[in-house]
Amino acid sequence: MLSKMNEYMRSNKDNMLSLLAELIEIPSVRGDATPGAPFGEEPKRALDKMLEICENMGLKTACCENVVGSADYAPDGSEVELGILCHLDVVPVEPANWSYPPFKLTEKDGILYGRGVIDDKGPAVAALYAIKCIKDLGIPLKKGVRFIFGTDEENGSGDMEIYMKHEKMPPCVFTPDGSFPVINVEKGMMRSFFKGGYDGGSVRCFHGGSIPNAVPDKAYAEVLVSLDAVNNAIAEDKSGAVFTVEDIGGAVKISADGKSAHASTPEAGINAVTALISLINRLGFEGSQADILKGLEKAFPCGETDAESVGLKAQDKTGATTIVFSIFDMENGECSGVVDVRFPTCLDLKTVEEKERAAFAAAGCELDRFMGDEPHCVDEDSEFVQALLRVYERVEGEKGRCIAIGGGTYVHHIDGGVAFGVERGDTDYHMHGADEFFPVEELLRDAVMFAAAIVEICG
């Protein structure tokens, strides 16, 4: 059956690419809400286009509040068992960084370029053609399959909340908006915003980091100290950060350069904020400002990414805790910052909140507010996950396995949902970056993979 599906996709390649081209031409970046288009006109236009295409294919379509569309193929009125969840919205582009027009599908040497080719319009086309293939080849199904396409994945998945208000998700759901083989664990996440106050001090200002979910690679401080003292402290430094100093008349400006990394893999980065705090603490200041800096170093020591010092070090089969002190600002008697923690299923949000609250208090600061998500976990031994792994092995010819990630995918709040595709291995497809790409071969193989998954689960 695989070879028939393969043949079908190959003979439909041109149709798939022209459909993808139509979708890429719609710059479906989130825009201002207008009547009937809560996430903006362009995402709505992509949604309408997809609904029209599904209808023309003879699928039974539905639409929720103009934000999520669906198309069912459920022969003989069977129940829908499987949902394939994709999104049609995209992140913005910086055209100057692109070698190709971002909102036009370009094919060059077997590679497709354009915003959304892999995230997530290409996978959506593959999912649709998987269903069409089964329909056209007359492959019998006992249960139905639903193609679901949302329009707000990139900005908080408000579309899913709306969908769930009106519709029930099918019992099995996968999203091709992650990696192969199967992502069944997404760690919990807590982003804490803290603040504090002090009276005077030798640090005139401190500013580091700007992105809450990344290891900060830049920080600087203006410090009332001698150049010699700073140079001596730098000589003892073991953080891996690169420091530069500048006499700015009456004060020394110290800049730290580290290495950025995503908050889910902080061990790959060098934290410029914690490196600079540690350096300043070695200058031997005293007073309430110095106490805060010392307290913060105690809770979030430079180089520590497992959260041991705040009492959150933990590991189970879903992974280990990671922590990033990502943003810190201190000036005029006030300081504030952000800490990002990713945690395995042996911890919960309440425990993480308590430990962080205590850590900030010990540093003379307070937890101001936080946003968080409990871990998402689907049993690896479930029939659904095992079915996807079998399909992966058959199509790819290599052993399938489950993976746990520190980030969240489109199914983070969907019970029983997993990510299945489409990134493979360590390839950097420039998702969210310039020259986002997707090889044609992989698009066709994914369509076969999804068709085989439908048969495995609904056949």
- Residues in touch with Zn ion (CB under 5 A): 119-120, 177
Nearer CB in complex with Zn ion: 127/270:
127
- Whether the CB-CB separation of 114 and 24 falls below 8 Å is answered with yes
According to DSSP, residue 411 is labeled: T
- In this structure, how many other beta carbons lie within 10 angstroms of the beta carbon of residue 95? 12
The token pair at 213 is 């979910």
Residue 70 or 345 having the CB closest to Zn ion: 70
Q: Least Å distance between CB 249 and Zn ion? A: 49
Q: How far apart are the first and last CA of the chain?
A: 12
Return d(Cα 189, Cα 192) in angstroms, integer: 10
Of the pair 370, 438, the CB lying nearest Zn ion is at: 438
d(CA 393, CA 398): 5
**CA separation for the pair 24, 104 (Å, rounded):** 6
* Shortest distance (Å) from residue 87 CB to Zn ion: 6
DSSP-derived secondary structure for 168-185: PPPSEEEESSEESSEEEE
Minimum CB separation of residue 424 from Zn ion in Å reads 16
Q: Which C-beta is closer to Zn ion: that of 116 or that of 201?
A: 116
CA 435/CA 105 separation, integer angstroms = 11
Burial category of 168 from C-beta neighbours within 10 Å (exposed 0-12, middle 13-18, buried 19 and up): exposed
Strand partners, 243: 256
Tell me whether residue 119 or residue 329 sits nearer to Zn ion (CB atom): 119
**Cα 349–Cα 355–Cα 357 angle in degrees, nearest 5:** 95
Using the minimum distance from each CB to Zn ion, give the nearer residue, 120 or 442: 120
CB 177 → Zn ion: shortest distance, Å? 4
Q: How far is the CB of 62 from Zn ion (least distance, A)?
A: 22
In the bound complex, what is the minimum distance in angstroms from residue 412's beta carbon to Zn ion?
12
Residue corresponding to tokens 């890429």: 24
- Beta carbon of residue 216, minimum distance to Zn ion (angstroms, whole number): 25
Q: Which is nearer to Zn ion, 120 or 340 (CB)?
A: 120
Q: CB nearer to Zn ion: give 120 or 304.
A: 120
φ/ψ of 119, rounded to 5, equals -130, 85
> Judged by CB, which is closer to Zn ion: 121, or 132?
121
- Alpha-carbon distance 295 to 446, whole Å? 51
For 3-115, list the strands marked E by DSSP.
60-64, 68-73, 80-87, 106-108, 111-113
CB of 89 to Zn ion, least distance (A): 8
Task: Compute the least distance from the CB of residue 174 to Zn ion, in Å.
Answer: 13
